[in-house]
Amino acid sequence: MSSLEAAKCQKMSDEIANLVELTPLVYKAFSSTPRTPFVPVSINAFKLDAHPIGSNQWISSPLTVAKMTMALEAENCDNILEIGCGSGYQAAILAKVARRVFSVERIEALANSAKALMKNLSINNVFIRFDDGNLGWRSYAPYDRIILSCFCQSVPPKLFDQLRDGGILVAPVAKDGKQYITQYKKSGNQIICKTLDECVFVPLLDGTEQR
């Protein structure tokens, strides 16, 4: 990462920390992860806004990524499943706080570009699969944490099935015409739900797209 990129990441992280209480490890993840490679269409990747990334998809505001990351309580977890890789920025942040990140992306072009980007950035603990996110990634289940980087009306039951007992799932969930970051904690057969901040994400869709 260039000194200019590092300075801009530091400034962005400070802006986020003024709005969201970050742990030292999460703050370090934001300040040490380059932003511009993940935002190919934008001329200002460091604004606290969402940006287009091609294929009619968007990368979330870094502020929203921070809120999702904190809600996930993922520090020092062994494995995390992400549904909706996009350009890979959320996965790259999580890679700094957890041992392994498994990310599923339904659009082939985005999955391929995210894989290439992780390789170029030497991020070796993020594994990306082109598939329908509704199915999760059963091969490496159960997961300590699951995060959806796309909103749904309700979380697919298959994802809760792949969550470890005692684990946490965070998803943007639609309610009364709006979307809210929602945290679910799994305890035996019980799911404890907590509604957090309002947010805006692209929808969780069925199937895959080769484009």
Catalytic positions are 60
Can the peptide bond before residue 203 be classed as cis, meaning omega within 30 degrees of 0?
no
Which are the contacts of 104, defined by CB distance < 8 A and separation ≥ 6? 81, 82, 83, 84, 85, 128, 129, 130, 131, 132, 133, 135, 136, 137
Dist CA 165 CA 17 (whole Å): 31
Question: DSSP assignment of 173-207, as one string?
Answer: EEETTEEEEEEEEEETTEEEEEEEEEE--PBP-SS
* Other CB atoms within 10 Å distance of the CB of residue 192: 10
* 173 contacts 154 by C-beta, under 8 angstroms: yes
Q: Which amino acid is at 31?
A: S
| Cα 191 from Cα 143, distance rounded (Å) | 15
| Cβ proximity of 37 and 51 under 8 Å | no
